[in-house]
Each structure stands twice: as C-alpha cells, then as structure tokens.
Structure 1
Amino acid sequence: MRRLTTTQADFQAQLDALLAFETAQNPEVDAAVARILADVKQRGDEALVDYTACFDGVAAASMADLTLDGEALEAAYRRLPAERCEALEAAAERVRRYHEKQLQPSWQYCEDDGTVLGQAVTPLDRVGLYVPGGKASYPSSVLMNAIPAKVAGVGEIAMVVPTPRGERNDLVLAAAHVAGVDRVYTIGGAQAVAALAYGTATIAQVDKITGPGNQYVAAAKRAVFGVVGIDMVAGPSEILVICDGGTDPDWIAMDLFSQAEHDEIAQSILLCPDAGYLGRVAASIERLLPAMPRRDIIAASLANRGALIEVRDLDEAAAIANRIAPEHLELSVAEPWALQPKIRHAGAIFMGRFASEALGDYCAGPNHVLPTSRTARFASPLGVYDFQKRSSLIYVSEAGAQTLGRIASTLAHGEGLPAHARSAEYRLND
C-alpha cells in the first residue's frame, strides 16, 4: 500500500494518478448488450428463457418457472433462522424510519390576483429492482432499494435476481418479503434489464430501474436510460478515512479492508497528520490481512488503488476529501461535528470513532446506494425522492392573465415565436 505526503512536490500528480479510473465504455460489452436488448425486445419471454439457460444454467419451460410470487418470498422468510429474520426486520425498520423523513409533500400558493402556482409530488407507478445473485448476494441492497420506493408510494415493485445453477438465496428472497417486493423473477444480466425496460408478456414495463450489477448490467442500464429512468451507473466502491491518530489502528485497518474486499479495483485511502500513526495502521494491515478470507482481493485492491497519506492538518485533510468526493467518508476524529461543516462532497459521512462504514451498509438507516467515482460533487444517495416525480401546477386567473400575458407576449415576439405571443394575447381584455 503506497505512502504519500502532501509536502511532496509531485503530490497532486500522484493523487490524480491514484484517483484515475477508466470509466470509458467497453465497445465489446456495449455491442453484446445491444444484441441482447434487441433480442429481448423482439422475442420477449422466449429470449429470457433462452438466456437464463445459457448464462445461468437454469432450464425453464416458461417464465412461470422463473417467477416467484409473494407466497414464495414468505416461504423463504419462514425457512430462515430466527436470528436472521430478526436482523432483517430490525434493519428494515431503521431504513424505513430514516426514509420516511424524506417524503416530499405537494405544495401551492395563491397570488393576490387569484393565480395559483404549485407542485404536485406523485410516486412512480412501477419500479424494477436489480439484485446480484450467486456468490454476490446482497439482501441489504434489497432493503435499500425497495424500502424507499415503498415509502414513496410506488404502486408495484418487481425484482430480478439471477440464480446461477438454480441456487436461490433465501436471505435475499426473505429481504424482498420484508421490504414489500411484489414479485421476483429469477433472471439476471442485460436480459433482465431489457425485460424491465421494454416489458414482456410476463414482466410489465417499469418506469425506473435501480440496483447494482456487473459491467453488462451497467451497460444495459446506460443503454435503456430514456426509455426508463435509472438510479446511476456506479463505479467501484470507495472509502476515505480522515483520522487524527486517536483511533485504534486495527479499527482503521479493518475499515479500509471493508471496502477493499469488494473487488480488486475498490479504493481505500487514509488521511492523517500523524506519520507515526500511519505506520501503526500499516503494521495493523500487515498483521490482520493474512487471516482475512478475502485477503487476495483486499491485497490487490490496496496495492492497486489504496494509499496512506500524511497531511499537514485536518483542514488540509478536509480539502483533499472534497477533491476526492468519496462514496464513503469516515471522520474518525475527536470532534467530528467541528470538521463536518468543512466537507462539501461525500456520499455518506460517518461521524466519530464508532461509526464504521459497515453499519451504514446494513442497518444505520441512511441509504447505502451512494455516488461513486467523484460524482458526489453533484449526485446524492438514493432516496425516496428518486421514486417520486414532480409536476408543476399553474392555475391562472383572468386578472393574472392580463399581467402574465403581456410579459409572455413581449418575450415571445423577442424570440421570434408569434404563435406563442398570439396565444397569450388572445386572453388579454384589451
């Protein structure tokens, strides 16, 4: 894991190199995805059955064999040990309670002449949730995507999850039951995205697709955007820790591991003004890594994109954090509330020594679907607002039309649009 210091003459260049990540689209992946999307659009359920047999090794007579209703989801929940059911319910309740605070009401106001302006906030009708399957099974993703949609009032939630070799994960299906998912289809890949975006005889077209997936899923979501909405095209997971040197170094090492274990291109960075402490964290990493089940992935991630960076002070650390705009930011310092106002760009900010990023992944309450690859400069966590849309309300009184009509007429003539002007002028009394 590389060691850097901000006093180095080439620090900015080294930081830029560390942050660099190739986000360009892969032409081969895009071409393969385009063929799959076109095929599903044309052949519908038949294509889904064929692709599921080809990619997942699951032979199905029809989509009925790849569809799970509410009773099947409840049965999966019943099969779980009580401890896991209780954990799912507790996490779901915390996520639900947090997201209920995000509900946006409709509003309006009346002007003196009787004109009424406002905004109608309404939920989406139908949402599709993509959940990875097989070894990468994430019940937490089900909760984080489905619960905000339910809180928003979405009418129907359809979930797709691949089941390689027919392996169904009861914890994922139970999470769907707890979160209120209406129906699950055991399909995945670009073909599942196509089914949600275009609809088939079995799967109704959705209005928006959310949830993580591999590069084919990401390329498919990018391709269908405009036909449907999407949450984001996410990059590798990231964690940035700012520490004042007062936290147990083993804690920080494990926090860095928590993101590095996702994959070899995840990013874990520590900023600290204490060079000696950075050395202690490095020693903790070396000592703890051999015992980690995913040590090879962690080691590759830390070597490829990780760094321990010595800063002049916490103010400089905050400035660098704003430059990085990380997905996850831990403020592992004595006075996190004093440092937090200096942070402008981060997906989620974890405050204090006891706020490990892992708590946010599962049960703290805020959403764990966060902007990556520096997009926290302009993007926000997934929330209830992603499952609501807004319509402007414009009621114009006769008196209001006299004022607004003259303004509109003047501007329309200035833009060379006489029909616009005439439309407003027709409603003038003189």
Structure 2
Amino acid sequence: MTTINMTRLDSSAADFSAQLKTRLAWDASEDFEIHKRVMDIISDVRNLGDDAVIEYTNRFDQCAFKKAAELELPKQALQDAWNSLSAEKADALQTAANRIRAYAEEQKLHSWQYTEEDGTLLGQQVTPLDKVGLYVPGGKAAYPSSVLMNAIPAKVAGVGELIMVVPTPAGESNPLVLAAAYLAGVDRIFTIGGAQAVAALAYGTKTIPAVDKIVGPGNIYVATAKKLVFGQVGIDMIAGPSEILVICDGQTDPNWIAMDLFSQAEHDENAQAILISDSSDFLDQVEHSINKLLPEMERADIIRASLTGRGAFILVPNLEVAAEVANRIAPEHLELSVANPDSLRQKIRNAGAIFMGRYTAEALGDYCAGPNHVLPTSGTARYSSPLGVYDFQKRSSLINCSAAGADKLGKIASVLARGESLTAHARSAEYRIK
C-alpha cells in the first residue's frame, strides 16, 4: 500500500490563512440535474399524492406496493424487532437510549412570566410541535443511533406525533432500526424513502400526514428535497461531510489519535480529519501510526481518500494558538486530548461538540455518551448548535396589559408609530390611553 504523507500546515507561515482556507474548502455546488429531478418528484407527490409515492417507491426501491395502506408498517413490527434482538444488542440500545433521554431532559425549555408594578404581565409560553417527520436511511445502511438521537429529543419535548419514514429496498428492513424506533416511542412508520418521502411529509397525502418539521439524515436527493420544502415545513439542517479536529499536546498514544482520525474519515471520501499539535515529533508519530494501522481497516480505501484529499496536520507554537485555529475552523467534532482540557475548553467558541481529555473518543458521542450526534458541519458551528429538545419546541410571547400599562405603553407606541407614519397603529394604541 502507498504510504500516506499527510498535508502539513504551519500556523506561523505567512500564507497559513490561505492554505487553511484551501484545505477546508468543500465543493458543495448543487447538481442542477438532481435539483430538477427532485422538483419533479415533489410536484408529482403534491399533485398525485399516494399514487406518486407508490410509483416512485416501487421504481427506486424495487418494491411492489399496490395500495397506500401497505406503506405503513404495523406498530407490532417495532416491538417484534425489539423482541428479536440478542441480549447484548438490546442492552446496548437500551443503555444508549436511557443516556440520550437523560441528557435531553436537561434541555427542556420552560414557560415563564413576570408582572410589572402596574399589573402588566409579560412572559413566554413554550409548546411542543404537533407533528414531526423523521427520515431514516434504510436497507443495509442501518443507523439505529440516528433514530435514537432524532426521536428521543422530540418525544422529550412532547411532540404530539412522531412519524418515521424508512425505505425498505427489495423489502429489506433492519431490526436494529425498528427496535430503536420502538424504544424511542415513534408513533407511526412508513416504508418509503427518497425525495418522495420528504415531499409526502411536507405536503401530506391521503395516507401520510403532513408534519411541521422534518429531521434526519439522507442522501443527496433527500438533502435537496429538504432544501426545497423548507418554508412549507421546518428542517433540522443540511449536513455536509463529517469532520473531526483533534488538538493534542503530544502526550496521548499516537495510535489512539490515528484511530480517532479514522473514525470520521471512514464515513466517506469527503470527510475531514485534522490534527493540531505543538509538537512536530508527535505529528510524525501519528503519521507513522496512520500508515501502520490503515491496512487493518475494512474501509481503508475510503479513509485513504479522505486523509489524502481533505486531511491535515497543523503545527502551532502553543495550545492557545491551537484554540484560535480551531475557532476559525469551527469543527463538527473537537477533541481536546490535552493535560488540562477544561482550561483549553474555555478558549473554544466554535464547535459542534467538544470531547475533553485523552479518554474521550469522539465515537462515544456518536452512540451512547448522551449529547446529540446531529451537529453543525462545514463551519456552521460559528452560528448554530447541535440538535436538541429545543428544536422541537416553539416559543410564544405573552403580553397582558393592565389599564395603567396600556396608558403608559400607548403613549410610547403612539409617538413611535406616528414617527413611522403608521397612523392606524398609533390610533389603536391611543384608544386605550386614559
């Protein structure tokens, strides 16, 4: 096998910013042919409803559905899948679900209010979304952890009805995915996928109810469909390739760090794995570990393409500069593999999830630590956050003016409204002035 020579950057180099920008660049240009196909599918589902969903599902997933009623999986199938698991798998799934739920319970937003001296009440009412759609990849691409991470926060938020869509190519379903849906409390499940599933959730058909928000990962057709139906419904995010950034002081086992980089690089060729260290010798050690361990990996070709095409080692003079570079990158996953991670963490402003200490592998967050693994990518951690209970809750402002409050606020509103030449606004407020 060809040796991987990791791309190396030096933060002290005059052209470091330009080099870093080039390495971070990811071609997310839209394929307009895919865009057009997805628009056509959405249009067909809006106009033809169940008939279009059945036709596309049969065509793309090699199914043979004849009636829309066949698209819904009986609730008993979820429990049967749970009952079919080995004790080891059931215990792992249950433990992960319990931890995700416990963490989610801490995130709940609560209603609040206060009363001013004149009796005017102000506050905020928090309510859950009525219906949410969860997209889950199907067939051999089984992601039970994704089911737990998306469904449990929704149920903790109090979502009235959680509707899952999962394709079953050639009738193939995954027991772990269905068991995860059972544990998470999914209310209804339809065996459809692709853009047609997103369109059905967004606009509704006679059989499939329209939802208020669609969450969950999918391929380029699913991502494009989510973009196009946004506005009709809410969506979680449009995720880019997976990312990991490790800051290490050179004292962690280099094999551990190499495997941490592999853990994200194995997702796909566009995944990005970056290591920042203040030790050039340590970067050499990790590169050696990469080349030693890579032949053992089942997805070695994907890891190789990812590390060669988008991976990087960055040398910095100290950990403070490492934190500055990390904030510029705003990674999805950030490992602080250093002696004092809490101190370094206080310098981090932009990251989807922060994994602190030498023993905290990013992979633990993917499955069972508790915090959500649905995270902002492609630098969007500068302004966005992990999926959480709050994404399934709405906030309504509360205002209840007393007579005295209406008198005081009415005078202020009148001045401001007339300043904007909105006379009806002003007079509406003035009617309530004593």
Normalised TM-score (structure 1): 0.99
Per the alignment, residue 17 of structure 1 pairs with: 22
Q: Pick from 86, 95, 112 the counterpart of residue 117 of structure 2.
A: 112
Per the alignment, residue 406 of structure 2 pairs with: 401
Per the alignment, residue 255 of structure 1 pairs with: 260
Per the alignment, residue 86 of structure 2 pairs with: 81
Q: Tell me by how many angstroms 1:82 deviates.
A: 1.3
Q: Tell me by how many angstroms 1:7 deviates.
A: 2.7
Letter in 2 for 1:175: A
Q: Please give the residue correspondences for 1:305-320 in structure 2 after superposition, counting only pairs within 5 Å.
A: 305-320=310-325
Q: Pick from 38, 43, 48 the counterpart of residue 48 of structure 2.
A: 43
Measured in 1, the distance between the counterparts of 2:222 and 2:182 equals 24
Unaligned runs of 5+ in 2: 1-5
Q: Tell me by how many angstroms 1:65 deviates.
A: 2.1
Per the alignment, residue 3 of structure 2 pairs with: none
Deviations 1:65-88 (A, max 9, x none): 221132111011111111111111
Deviations 1:74-117 (A, max 9, x none): 01111111111111100000000001001111000001111000
Q: Tell me by how many angstroms 1:8 deviates.
A: 2.5
Q: Pick from 344, 348, 361 the counterpart of residue 356 of structure 1.
A: 361
Measured in 1, the distance between the counterparts of 2:141 and 2:20 equals 31
Measured in 2, the distance between the counterparts of 1:157 and 1:33 equals 24
Q: Please give the residue correspondences for 1:342-381 in structure 2 after superposition, counting only pairs within 5 Å.
A: 342-381=347-386
Measured in 1, the distance between the counterparts of 2:61 and 2:111 equals 45
Measured in 2, the distance between the counterparts of 1:150 and 1:44 equals 28
Measured in 1, the distance between the counterparts of 2:56 and 2:428 equals 54
Letter in 1 for 2:67: S
Q: Tell me by how many angstroms 1:64 deviates.
A: 2.3
1:56 aligns with 2:61: yes
Measured in 2, the distance between the counterparts of 1:42 and 1:153 equals 32
SS in 2 for 1:289: helix
Letter in 2 for 1:8: A
Measured in 2, the distance between the counterparts of 1:8 and 1:398 equals 67
1:274 aligns with 2:279: yes
Letter in 2 for 1:177: Y
Deviations 1:25-74 (A, max 9, x none): 32111111100000001111111111111111011112222211321110
Per the alignment, residue 184 of structure 1 pairs with: 189
Letter in 2 for 1:391: S
Per the alignment, residue 173 of structure 1 pairs with: 178
Measured in 2, the distance between the counterparts of 1:196 and 1:255 equals 37
SS in 2 for 1:203: coil
1:103 aligns with 2:104: no
Measured in 2, the distance between the counterparts of 1:428 and 1:69 equals 60
Per the alignment, residue 130 of structure 1 pairs with: 135
The runs of at least 4 consecutive aligned structure 1 residues that moved more than 3 Å come to: none
Per the alignment, residue 67 of structure 1 pairs with: 72
Q: Pick from 294, 297, 303 the counterpart of residue 299 of structure 2.
A: 294
Measured in 1, the distance between the counterparts of 2:74 and 2:389 equals 25
SS in 2 for 1:68: coil
The Cα RMSD (Å) is 0.8
Q: Tell me by how many angstroms 1:134 deviates.
A: 2.3
Letter in 1 for 2:263: S
Measured in 1, the distance between the counterparts of 2:262 and 2:167 equals 27
1:238 aligns with 2:259: no
Identity of aligned residues (%): 67
8 Å Cα contact 1:69/1:182 also seen in 2: no
SS in 1 for 2:21: helix
Measured in 2, the distance between the counterparts of 1:303 and 1:166 equals 38
Letter in 2 for 1:254: M
Letter in 2 for 1:7: S
Measured in 2, the distance between the counterparts of 1:337 and 1:160 equals 40
Measured in 2, the distance between the counterparts of 1:120 and 1:69 equals 36
Deviations 1:136-193 (A, max 9, x none): 2110000000000000000110001111221100100100000000111111111100
SS in 2 for 1:58: coil
Measured in 2, the distance between the counterparts of 1:123 and 1:24 equals 35
Unaligned runs of 5+ in 1: none
8 Å Cα contact 2:140/2:174 also seen in 1: no
